[in-house]
Amino acid sequence: MVSRYGVKIRKREGKILEKMRARHACPKCGKKSVSRKGTAQWHCKSCNATFTGGAYEPKTQAGNEAERALARVNQ
């Protein structure tokens, strides 16, 4: 970004983009080869799995909480 919109917003955007572009672990095979395909679409280059998740990260905080709640119910 150019020098517009303020320092705080540019730093926040930088952190988001850094998280988004990082390699993430695949929920299917476990390897760190998941990259972003599109908005909330993620693709594993190792096992060729495609799945949906958060816009900037494959797993969101709300998704993690839902998984924990389901695990408690299924016990």
CA distance 23 to 33: 6
- Pair 26, 34: CB distance under 8 Å: yes
In a domain, residue 1? The reply is no
Number of domains in the chain: 1
In a domain, residue 25? The reply is yes
| Average confidence score pLDDT of the chain | 91
Tens digit of each residue's pLDDT (9 = 90 or more) over 4-53: 788 999 999 999 999 999 999 999 999 999 999 999 999 999 999 999 99
Tokens of 9: 């917003």
Average pLDDT estimate for 52-63 = 92
- pLDDT category of residue 70 using cuts at 50, 70 and 90: very high
Give the CATH number for residue 49: 2.20.25.30
Residue type, 72: R
In a domain, residue 67? The reply is yes
The residue range of the domain holding 20 is: 7-74
- Pair 51, 60: CB distance under 8 Å: no
Tokens of 18: 């850094």
State the pTM of this model: 0.76
